A and B are shown apart, each in its own frame.
Chain A
Amino acid sequence: MLTIDKLTKRFGDKTAVDAANILVEKPSMIGIIGRSGAGKSTLLRMVNCLSDASEGTITFEGEEITGLRGAARRNWQSRCAMIFQQFNLVPRMDVVSNVLHGTLNKRSTFATMFNLYPQSDIHRAIEILDRLGIAEQAPKRAEALSGGQQQRVAIARALMQDPKIILADEPIASLDPMNAQVVMQALRRIHEEDGRMVIANLHTLDTARRYCDRVIGMRDGRIVFDGTPEQLTTGVARDIYGAGADFSEAATSTEIETLDRAEVREVKAYA
């Protein structure tokens, strides 16, 4: 389905992503983990064509993505939705308008200028918001919402695009544990119910373990691990993060339940 072949991105003499190979056969939920600066975001941005690859190719269902330009490129972007860490909504516009931005690729600038979205689209936008449990917020301005609600609006915008792939760049990194759970469950539900492929950069190991079918580990631009969550042992995780023996998964956890586990209490006792 999605083939990433020797994908490389250089910024000057720095290599952000170094010959990454990923093959995805069927829609699945994939988590990418690694230290900040490991090239996770750059990888996702290249898949969405927000930035160009230096070398290598991305192929989706037989179509090469990396060479696309102009309208074809924007069309691909409309089929491959992206969710950002800082939500990247238009803060001063209402929630439904933000969701309707998911259809911009099909609309002319003129229609956008005069807010001429078809009624069916408006109804669908509100249904999507309802599915994510925030339909009551529909007429409010996006900036008036809490972080978790804003991220769900961003997911609604992504769903409005009716994409084959949803890319999520650190979707929960600026959320508290409760909201993080709601957002991750929403992404998981979208994957299971709609059969869409979800690729998420995650900054905590246990999130990747809990929600993903497949975990990819990156270090210094290279893919150093690619397997199921079960294969991701503590030793492998230490390799990915380049951490010493004092590294404990629970210490970085954002799950509330972790607090009850014995190992965390030990960590706390040290502190």
Chain B
Amino acid sequence: MADISLSGAPQNVDGIQASYMAQVQRRRLYGGLTLLIFVVLMVSGFNVADDRNAGGFWDGLHQIGDYPADVLSEAWEKRADLPALIAKYFPALVETINIAAVSTLIGAIGGLFLSLLGTRGLAKWPRLIPLFRRISDIMRAVPEIVIALVLIFVLGGGPVPAMIAIAIHTAGALAKMFSEVSENTDLKAVEGLASTGATWSQRMLLGVLPQVAPNYVSYTLLRFEINIRASAILGFVGAGGLGYELRNSMAWGPGRFDEAAAIFILLFGTIVFFDQVSSRYRNRLTEGQGQ
């Protein structure tokens, strides 16, 4: 853009105004064309998806409230049973949270090593950086549910396959987030420690971790929230916990909707609770360090 104005060399204000207006017109034309293309793609994409759909979006749209209405009305009729049902499913909730907590811990430790080994400037073996990066790419590219299905097939149903599946995905995802933090670390302290003859693990432990710990913990807490949801979903494929119970009560249809409602309440309450707690801690860690 600078070239145009220099080659034209309009010295008087009128000339500058005219050439700038021409530029604005061109930009508006491009902007309008982009918008047009966007709208066309949106509409055509939607229509293709709607054609391929079994039911049809517009036919199904008015039924969207039917299922929640059924669940809610039945749960309201049997509202007296709800506390007892919540108590009944509480152990399943503990199992779900347990899966999430263990897999977050294991995943965070794995992610820590993957990220330190995969960050330029910090890696112990600089030549192997691409290898560790690809490993973490693969670990986070495969969805938890795929790993869990394979492991359930091999190990049988239960919380352990779910835990391993989530831990693998968490390690990959956290390695990516961690390495973005550690790429921005100040290497002066590391150099200082290296000058005293410290080993790689000593340098990482004393030179890098104190700098990045608040961000690491904050990302790990965020991941913990996500993992609670993930472990509830993995229950659907037979990994135990709250999701397993939810699938049963939903699949058996009317008559057990009160149980589904109780599980929904538990799940929703838990997610909101951990959301609030972890976002408070994350704010304290990233912003309010001035105590």
Which residues of chain B from 1 to 24 have a CB within 8 Å of any chain A CB? 1-2, 4-5, 11, 13, 16-17, 19-21, 23-24
- Is A135 close to B, CB under 8 A? yes
Residues of B within 8 A of A136 (CB): 5, 11, 16
Known: A96-B20, A122-B17, A126-B16. A140 touches B2 (CB 8 A): yes
For the complex, what is the distance from the CA of A122 to the CA of B24, rounded to whole Å?
9
CB distance A139 to B21 under 8 Å?
no
Bound-complex Cα distance A123 to B16 (A): 9
Q: How large is the interface on A (under 10, 10 to 19, 20 to 34, 35 or more residues)?
A: 10 to 19
Bound Cα distance from A269 to B175, whole angstroms: 59
Contact partners of B23 in chain A: CB under 8 A: 139
Q: A115-B28, A130-B13 are in contact. Are A138 and B20 (CB under 8 A)?
A: yes
B1 and A140 contacting across the interface, CB-CB below 8 Å = yes
Known: A114-B28, A126-B20, A140-B2. 17 other contacts (CB 8 A): A96-B20, A115-B27, A115-B31, A116-B28, A117-B24, A122-B17, A122-B20, A126-B16, A135-B13, A138-B5, A138-B16, A139-B2, A139-B5, A139-B23, A140-B5, A141-B1, A141-B2
Chain B, Cβ-Cβ closest to A144: B2
Q: Give the A-B pair count, Cβ closer than 8 A.
A: 46
* CB nearest to A137 among chain B residues: B5
Residues of the A chain whose Cβ atoms lie less than 8 Å from the Cβ of B28? 114-116
| Chain B residues packing against A (C-beta within 8 Å) | 1-2, 4-5, 11, 13, 16-17, 19-21, 23-24, 27-28, 31-32, 35
B contact residues around A135 at 8 Å (CB): 13, 16
The docked-state distance in angstroms from the alpha carbon of A127 to that of B17 is 9
Query: Chain B interface mostly helix, strand, loop or mixed?
Result: helix
Q: Which residues of A contact B (CB under 8 A)?
A: 94, 96, 114-117, 119, 122-123, 126-127, 130, 135-136, 138-141, 144
Known: A126-B17, A138-B16. A115 touches B24 (CB 8 A): yes
Contacts of A144 in B (CB 8 A): 2
Residues of B within 8 Å of A139, CB to CB, are: 1-2, 4-5, 19-20, 23
